[in-house]
């Protein structure tokens, strides 16, 4: 995919990915929304690929997950409304073709660790914000995550960052190479 903005929360998530355009958007939904909106206004890419690590519920590390939707759980806690963003169908189909073994699941967004609903199979901190910014300006977007840990695992020494980062870099390369 040419002219794709690759967005990740941290430099570590982005550094192994060979992308012509990359953005470190910062951790959490507020930083991610603001940085992504600014980058989209300045660059106007053809598409956006949001990548990063995630916690999973019952998913093996380092499983790959493509977001079937991004759900903002913090907003649901404050207001009885479901805030969701769907990925672009064509981008999701291309990513699925490039990553046939990846799960396609809802990804919950929350500003804190282990704060998504128990029925959310995947938890991350920026997905809704990044995809919503892209949606607002009409840039097609899709979210790709590599599971590094079980959501409720409090011992961060058991989180497998290196394995998940390697899986993420390989998967992102395959998605970016898709036509």
Instruction: Give the pLDDT of residue 84.
Output: 87
SS3 per residue for the chain: CCCEEEEECCHHHHCCCCCCEEEECCCCHHHHHHHHHHHHHHHCCCEEEEEEEEEECCCCCCCEEEEEEEEEHHHHHHCCCCCEECCCHHHHHHHHHHCCCCEEEEEEECCCCCCCCCCCCEEECCHHHHHHHHHHHCCCEEEEEEEEEECCCCCHHHCCHHHHHHHHHHHHHHHHHCC
Q: List, in order of start, the domains of the chain with CATH numbers.
A: 4-177 (3.40.50.1580)
Instruction: Give the pLDDT of residue 110.
Output: 78
What pLDDT band is residue 155 in, cutting at 50, 70 and 90?
confident
136-153 confidence digits (pLDDT tens): 999 999 999 999 998 888
Instruction: Give the pLDDT of residue 2.
Output: 56
- Mean confidence (pLDDT) of the chain: 90
């Amino acid at each position: 995919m040419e002219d794709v903005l690759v967005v990740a929360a941290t430099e570590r998530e982005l550094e192994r990915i060979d992308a012509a355009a990359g953005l470190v958007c910062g951790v959490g939904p507020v930083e991610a929304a603001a940085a992504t909106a600014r980058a989209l206004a300045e660059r106007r890419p053809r598409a956006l690929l949001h990548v990063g690590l995630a916690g999973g519920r019952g998913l093996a590390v380092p499983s790959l997950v493509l977001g079937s939707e991004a759900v903002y759980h913090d907003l649901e806690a404050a207001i009885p409304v479901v805030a969701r963003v769907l990925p672009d169908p064509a981008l999701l189909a291309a990513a699925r073709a490039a990553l046939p073994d990846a799960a396609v699941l809802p990804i919950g967004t929350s500003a804190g660790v282990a704060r998504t609903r128990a029925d959310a199979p995947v938890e991350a901190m920026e997905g809704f914000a990044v995809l919503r910014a892209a949606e607002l300006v009409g840039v097609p977007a899709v979210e790709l995550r590599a599971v590094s840990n079980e959501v409720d695992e409090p011992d961060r020494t058991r989180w497998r960052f290196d394995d998940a980062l390697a899986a993420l870099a390989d998967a992102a390369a395959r998605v970016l190479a898709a036509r």
